[in-house]
Structure 1
Amino acid sequence: MWKRIFILISALLGNVCSFASCPNWSPAQAKQEITRLEQQLSQWNDAYWRQGASAVSDEVYDRLMTRLTQWRRCFGDVQTPSDMPPPVNGDTRHPVAHTGVSKLADKTAVARWMSGKQDLWAQPKIDGVAVTLVYRDGQLAQAISRGNGLAGEDWTAKARQIPALPHTTQGALANSVLQGEIFLRREGHIQKQRGGMNARAKVAGLMMRQGATAPLDELGVFIWAWPDGPAKMGERLTLLANAGFSLTQRFSKPVNLPQEVAAWREEWFTSPLPFVTDGIIIRTAKEPVGRSWVPGQGSWVAAWKYQPVSQLAEIKAIHFRTGRTGKTSVIAELVPVKLDDKQVQRVNIGSVNRWRRLDIAAGDQVLVSLAGQGIPRLDKVVWRGLNRQKPPIPSSRYTPLTCFYYSTACEEQFIARLNGAGSPQALDIKGTGEAGWKQLSQAHHFSHIFSWLSLTLPQLQKTPGFSAKRAQQLWHRFTLARRQPFQRWVSALGVPLPRAALQALRDSTWLQFKARNERSWQTLPGIGPENARRLVEFIHHPDIDSLVGKLGEFGVNGF
């Protein structure tokens, strides 16, 4: 469906709350930023409608349009995205206007919309390009792009090249006006797995491409409205199916409850379909007479879109963080956005080099999504601000052999080492985490990364912010950690051994470790000359010698 005007407005109004924080701009900067984004959106809009070219995905365009609306409101401009209509070249009038659909945010909104309505039907919200088909005396007389809802371009010649589109009709359909979606035909498309594939832009490109004469075999048509057609939905669907529009009957389902709508939405999201979808449509069988249809006022039809897999987020600040091995990573602090059921406020960009390549600064707009295990990730930069100030990169004074002992300058790497020692890959001390380790270190003045081994239960119980129950649980986990195998304590120390080498290792004491030379280390999987050199340097470092001695005093096996 045409995405640029009416179908967006409800979503924009509903989503603006997620961008509630207004930029801290002067009026002059605000004017510059808004003008730049308006111009860019206008260029993309023009290319989309005149050439069928899509420089950005529909999702990115829609979210930047939402952001533009929010900026305008922040700085006293009451314009809406309808001020940026598509640059329609044609002036072919629609016999019946396209109304568009209002957007429903969630199941509660669906329930409110359904309340008091009867004879409701659900259909998949197909991701394509809207069209009017006009049949006269049984022949396809006109095909009109949606345009601004009142008039569009004459697509009749192109439509006649679509084999899947019936060119003749009879009976009640011989003289009819139909509204529907030209879509990209897919075989067994599962929306949850494959996403949108930018299908809408591909359809637009095929329909707008100049000079193409070959039949458009890749395209299909789904009819979702028959203005002034039969009053009963069942009869309407049967007649459409008999005329060759069988998909409408196959994918129109009667619904009475919000739970049924939710069930069909999930079904169509996870099942193989012949087209790309981006949500579900709910409509009443009873519709007003066609002459009363007005763009933006289709009160008898609504959409509940799928949860986006990514969100547009604004970079609030850039921070640097020293990890367990001394490497510096870059963290982007975000204006909070919601992804799935998570409130995302920061995302790990990765190394300093990746940050430089991505060229990210505060004020930029980025796409974020959830990777495996629900971890936020930054996918791409979609818009860069004007006044781009980047923080200086901290000096790289930290290494894999620094900060085993606490100092003010070492605090960040020291806490990261504690957290690494308690991780599932090492001693698996559940219920701590970085914040918990920081509390313990500050309260009990840890001098080294294994100082916690000397804590008693009464000391843990006196830790600020720790309940008696939590202290008891942590005491129990510390006790279990003492009994962990030697290899896990090797990981807790941070010895730079690849996982495969650690699993193949048969050494059970630190003395055996110290007896190995570089050649001996290279007999293990994943260890080359450089890794072997680093291992020998690590194992014989004075700080490691000191820590190993303390582990021996604590009675840890192998030390």
Structure 2
Amino acid sequence: MGKTVSVILFYLALSALCLPIPALSNECPRISTSEADTKIKTLANDIRYHNQLYYEKAQPEISDAEYDRLFAALVHMESCFPALVASDSPTRQVGSDVSAGSKKVAHEKPMLSLSSASGPQAVEQLLRRLGSGETVSLLVQPKVDGVPVELIYVAGKLVSAATRGDGRFGEDVTGRVRDIGGILLQLSATFPERVVVRGEMYADLPLMQKYNLAHPTANYASPRHLVAGVLQSRIPDPAALAVLRLFPFELVTIDLPGDQVRTDREALNKLSEWGFTVDSAHTHPVQSFSDIQAIYRSYLAGRDQQPFAMDGIVVKVDDLMQRQRTGEGERAPFWAAAWKFPPESARTQVIKILWTVGRTGRRTPVAEIIPVRLGGAQVSRISLHSPEKITWLDIAAGDQIVVGLVGDVIPQVLEVVGRSARYSGSGAVRQEAPEQALDVCLSDSPGCRQQFLAKAYFFASKSGLTVSGLGRTRLKKLVEAGLVTDLPSLFMLQEEAVAAVPGFSRASAKRIITSLHLASHSEPFKIVTALGIAGVGTKTVQRLNLQFSSFDELLNADKERLKTLSARDARAVQTMQRFFHSAGGADLLTKIRDLGMLPVRSGGVR
């Protein structure tokens, strides 16, 4: 944990000197409008992709700091080329946690995100924005790591609960929230006819620890994931519901008859009078950066002693009228900012480099390490993502490394701090994965079993065609029984044959066959996505769906047509063309079309 201390000291040293952590240059790049447009679109698409992983799937791939740098780069490019800012730019929207098909609830007013940074920059910018002409009263609260919700009470009774969603509409979670012990169902004392309250739904850490001991099969990567999982579950586990609590942070309705609320502190006191659990020890009045810095240090040093997970502090204007004068942006208010904590890290050693098979069938390097504890969990393996990452890190067996958590969840190698001897036979020499063709292992064979299973699993998963009842274990049994030899053969399965395989019943076989029948009528863009072509994800296919009138037009697009696309989309089209024009890809396409899927001139990738 020595590295953790050094990282913390580094941040605090910068803060003590009032120096910002290195940021983007203020100078605009000297590039053409076309190049700027491509850069902006690429950054925007990257951010949308990571928003989807974070908000919808709870599976972040990058750290908060890396996300902040991407977002800052997009803000900078848009400020340099304002004519190129798209109406749906991520800088104008809030990442959405609303799952597909769920009921939506309109918010009382936009429920925005926060300007934040893994350093003091966002807070310093807030202080500069507020100016030095007058003394400004500020409040500091912990940045609780959970799921923000909005609660609406009418005549004192809870009538609606919704997640933040896209800021305008959230997912209706009223039914689930009513069963949470930490949620107030009836207000007490004297209250107005309509009350709207916002807060962070979080997992009480001591209760979560007991829950995990009693439910060892529960697979929640972090406290925030437990909250998100429970709120999105149609039939949540009562024991998991009992773990949840609310950290109220805003009274949205402030027009109280006969009693004027002028500050946020007064509003929080009102919430306490009405029965909400409001811990005044976590609301700190401040007036200077040094005050904020002291509280940041205190929370950073004692974050493990809190009853909730937290990833920083929130600084906000206390005076409500001043908030109105300061205003709000399309994505975040101008009267508040967050100062995030540095990632938790530890030092360890690489035992060996392994190679696993990912969803596209490509081999992925994984570092097996001497186990360390991060975020309350033991970490023994860390994905290195690609051969290029091995080269960039120059990592091998025997190396001393520093590992940290991406998004407080996913372990990642941060740096190599000590290298072992690189000599043949030592086990410390890097082994490169052989370059593989796009159409490798599209069918089962002795040398392709593992890779084909990975492709088939992705094809049938929620990220693919969502075939109910067909998980990794059952797929493996069908492949070993010789019933599934390639992806199209899934749609030729017979109920009797499936039911005869050990581990299947007549009912489960019928459910799978019915689900496969429904999947065979999926929209073409879903079918293409489910094939798991390397470098061609869901968002990319959806964009291409809007730019081509048919799937065949995409396959036959020439260089002139590709010039009308962004560089990223053009590369994706070329990748798809190479795949479907390869021997294996062409054979796969023929078999899929023989099943009536992806018909010629079907309306295309739609």
Per the normalisation by structure 2, the TM-score is 0.42
Q: Which is greater in Rg?
A: 1
